[in-house]
Amino acid sequence: ASGKGIGLADMLVRQLGGDVAPTSSAAGTGIAARVGATAGKKLDDLWSDARSFAAEVWPHAKQIARKLNVAPEGILAQVALETGWGAHVPKRGDGNSSFNLFGIKAGSSWTGDTVAKTTLEFEAGLPRMEVHKFRAYDDLARGFEDYSRLLSTSPRYEAVKNHGDDVDGFASALQSSGYATDPAYAEKIRSVLRSPTMQTFLGEL
């Protein structure tokens, strides 16, 4: 999983969803108009707050959740954790978004665009900052499709699928599969799910 490129203490706070307060706007406002309209946008032009980020990614989360047979709330919590509610998405050299919300690294088999980013990794339970290359996409849809393809085709992530509404099981399977090196990855996903920002958003759907 990708780190956030900021101080360790700030990073952990942001991962737990505690840095962004809900706004008063309705969660569903403008979702249809915004879906698919993010390609080629600089990060500053995308999401003004956690609510607009959640509203933007929710339709994609629901679509992918159906394919994987998992709860869309779990996927939303994962991308909120990975990006600090959209505030720390890896960006290209020109400032445009990579639309990589899942912290998917660019291994030797990846032939698409990449971005370099400082990330928090753990070894033997100890954190350290490293620079890695991450996959980059043209828009949100392609990023979510690649995430779905990764979990659907890799034997490593077989146990991540088919948890239905069991978000705890989904989060635990992500951690046990080695999706992230953070030993507290599953609990952080659960913490984001319990956060006021998430609960307010889900309550207004």
What residues are labeled active site? Answer: 121, 146
Structural contact between residues 45 and 128, judged by C-beta atoms closer than 8 angstroms: no
Structural contact between residues 192 and 80, judged by C-beta atoms closer than 8 angstroms: yes
The residue to which tokens 């400032």 are assigned: 95
DSSP assignment letter at 110 = -
Q: What is the dihedral of CA 1, 175, 201, 12, to 10 degrees?
A: -60
- Encoded amino acid at 160, one letter: V
How many helices, marked H, and strands, marked E, lie in the chain?
A: 8, 2
From CA 45, how far away is CA 185, in angstroms rounded? 29
Q: Which two tokens stand for residue 98?
A: 């990579």
* CA-to-CA dists, residue 176 to 15, 41, 184, angstroms: 19, 35, 11
DSSP assignment letter at 91 = B
